[in-house]
Amino acid sequence: MALPAGTPQEHRYQLCRDEDCERFPCRLYKEGRRDGIEEGYRRGWDDCYPVAFSDGIAACPRPHAPGG
């Protein structure tokens, strides 16, 4: 739905692509998103990689697999 003529365009923090935007909701949203991505990556690496890597390397048919 379009905004009525003469109405300032809505600035939605979820859609803001300006990394230097000074609006508080934009800064807060981007900071939280960055923190969430970093924490997710760290958790995935710390919790999952050791298990997944050892399972994956054991299943590999190449010569570096145990017993291969």
- DSSP secondary structure string, 2-62? PPPTTPPPP--TTT---TT---HHHHHHHHHHHHHHHHHHHHIIIIIHHHHHHHHHHH--S
For 47, the domain range is 29-59
pTM of the model: 0.53
Residue 11 lies in a domain: no
Q: What is the pLDDT of residues 20-46, one digit of tens each?
A: 999 999 999 999 999 999 998 888 888
Model confidence band, residue 64 (pLDDT cutoffs 50, 70, 90): low
Q: Per-residue pLDDT averaged across 13-18, rounded?
A: 92
Q: 46 in a domain, yes or no?
A: yes
Question: Is residue 13 in a domain?
Answer: no
Is residue 68 predicted with pLDDT exceeding 50? Answer: no
What is the predicted pLDDT for the residue at 60?
72
The total number of structural domains in the chain stands at: 1
Q: Is 43 among the domain residues?
A: yes
